[in-house]
A = this chain, B = another copy of it.
Amino acid sequence: MSSIRQIISIGELARRADCKPETVRYYERIGLLRDALRTEGGQRRYGEDAVRRLTFIRHARDFGFSVEAVRELLAMSDQPDMPCQEVDAIARHHLEKVESHLQRLSALRDELQRMITQCAGGKVENCRIIEVISDHQLCISENAHGGSRLAQGVPSVD
């Protein structure tokens, strides 16, 4: 817990947390990671604590937490004495979003599957996919989970 040796380069750190050095520098710049110790030549050196912190950040980001949410989570975990109500609140809020995304995504999956089975190698003229997108019924299920503007909030899956 206390024997932190700063021996890891930024590239090694990035590799261990499955991201890129640029991302590490970016996180430092925006204050998610503390300023690293430097070698005489000015290169960053990290310890295991940084690996843990960065891994936490990457996991939280992968989970879909925004950078600001991650910042809050980190601030909280930096003060282990505070009650975790807030952490709970963030998680609950997040769960709601995740569940509505899940609904929309699974509706989309069903449509795509329907598209693919129905588009049996004809011409575009008769292609159900274009049709399904044009007047898709998903709008109904979109409105079913709250009615407000969520059109922009869908995961991009290019």
Contacts and interface: CB of A to CB of B under 8 A. Distances in A.
Given A108-B64, A155-B155, A157-B64, A82 B133 contact: no
Contact of A84 (B77, B111, B123): B123
Nearest to A77: B130
Contact of A130 (B18, B76, B97, B138): B76
Nearest to A125: B80
Contact of A62 (B62, B129, B154): B154
A68 interface: yes
A119 B102 contact: no
Interface string A53-85: 001101111111110110001001101111111
Contacts of A37: none
Contacts of A119: 84, 87-88, 91
26 contacts: A52-B134, A55-B134, A60-B133, A61-B151, A61-B154, A62-B154, A63-B108, A63-B111, A63-B136, A64-B158, A66-B158, A73-B130, A76-B124, A77-B130, A80-B124, A80-B125, A84-B127, A88-B121, A91-B116, A98-B109, A98-B157, A99-B109, A101-B155, A101-B157, A155-B155, A155-B157
Interface of A: 18-19, 52, 55-56, 58-66, 68-69, 73, 76-77, 79-85, 87-88, 91-92, 94-95, 97-99, 101-102, 104-106, 108-109, 111-113, 115-116, 119, 121-127, 129-130, 133-136, 138-139, 142, 151, 153-158
